[in-house]
Amino acid sequence: MTLATVASGAAMTLVHSFAAKPLGPEEYATVGTLLRVLLFLAIPGAGLQVLFAQQAAATGREALGTVAKTARATLLMITAGWLAVALATWFGHGWIQQTLKLHDAAILWPTLGAAWASLALPLFSGLVQGREHFGTLGAVALANGFGRLFAIVGLVVVAHGKATAAMWAAFAGLAAAAAVAAWGSRDVWRTAGSAAAIGPALQRLGPFVLSAGCLLVLSQSDVIFLTAVLPAASAEHFRLGTHYLPASTIGFAMTQFTVPLAVVMFPKIARSFARAESSDALQLALLGTAVVGGAAALAATLLPRLPLQILYFRSPDNWAAAPLVPWCAWAMLSFALANVIVGDRMARADFRFLPWAVALTAGFLGTLAWLAPRLTSWEAATAYRTVIGTIGGFNLALLAAVHFSTRRPKPAPAGQGLR
């Protein structure tokens, strides 16, 4: 799983290497912003993955039948919700284009296609993860990374497409990954639905979505926020596409080395919790994340220019983001650690931390709102460091809040899993 994720991350890295120069700073910044928008459109999907990973870890045939029935109903709801978003986009595309500073509204349509795949993929992947088919889960990561890479080379490098073509490439990678995950979870889809009601399972989705949504907001809001609040007239001063986005991309890439540990940990903890068995998966995942992530952040601090030279070997202008690389690396390490411990709590269906997570997320958004009118009067480097430092600080606060809010063991409720 780790090897597949690293290989997929390498392919994603090459996407930026091949795309940055032909797209140019403005188009590249647009693509970076829309990729973050995709993450937010897929917030419900993040909750779906952890929910279905937990429930698919159930071993009984009857429990698996209820999972299958719930999954079918959820896929229908995903599609219905996506259609509503597509309709809203059709009527509000002018406002969206102005807010995100898009040159061509046509770019919204491949983004919408990628949004559906982003919503469906976690559902399929959660079923695969819960059944502990990690080879298939690795193939899903490879399909996403290399599918997007091949599409970028064909549509942007060879065919000289711009931002819209790059978003079609993102759709191609996500669609390929969703197809692989759907095939890998076919044993669940083929299971006859049980007579058990699916209402209780769907009602449990809320805490999972809210928890995953808090993590996403606290880690991936920066590019969208900066794109929305920085006026177009200051583009030359702030140079978002060359002086910020490359460093942010390095920080995000760093998490790809640690996320697999949490992915493997989750179903093992969920299964051991359902069986009232002990597990050392959390300790191993935390230790691995701290060691791997800490080493990567330290390397980024000592050699901040090197990852940019590797990633953007065709675009030396992006090397100017080097002073921000250590900031992004340490901020993402705090997120990676928080992600592991939140994943452990969700695997145990223990949401005592959730009020703290919601409060911190609200505080984070309030802080960004307070910063928004002030950023344009600051030096670009100061503004960027302040945003990154805010992200890192709130993720550390989340890590501490989750730890202290769940220090006392929670007794396992009767009847774990879907029954």
pLDDT digits (tens, 9 = 90+) for 125-143: 888 887 777 788 889 989 9
CA distance 201 to 191: 17
Is 410 a residue whose pLDDT tops 70?
no
What is each CA distance from 55 to 127, 138, 218, 317, 354, in whole angstroms? 8, 20, 26, 47, 20
Residue range 210-256, pLDDT digits in tens: 888 888 888 888 888 888 888 765 666 678 878 898 898 888 878 77
Q: Predicted confidence band at 198 (pLDDT cuts at 50, 70, 90)?
A: low
Is 10 a residue whose pLDDT tops 80?
no
Residue 335, token pair as written in the block: 């997120």
Q: What is the pLDDT of residue 414?
A: 44
Is 417 a residue whose pLDDT tops 50?
no
Is 79 a residue whose pLDDT tops 50?
yes
CA distance 18 to 15: 5
Strand spans (E) along 138-258:
none
CB of 142 within 8 A of CB of 7?
yes
What global pTM score does this model have? 0.69
Is 13 a residue whose pLDDT tops 60?
yes
Q: What is the pLDDT of residue 26?
A: 83
Residue range 338-384, pLDDT digits in tens: 888 887 787 777 888 899 999 999 999 999 999 988 888 888 889 99
The mean pLDDT of 249-274, rounded to a whole number, is 67
Is 195 a residue whose pLDDT tops 60?
no
The mean pLDDT of 301-309, rounded to a whole number, is 92
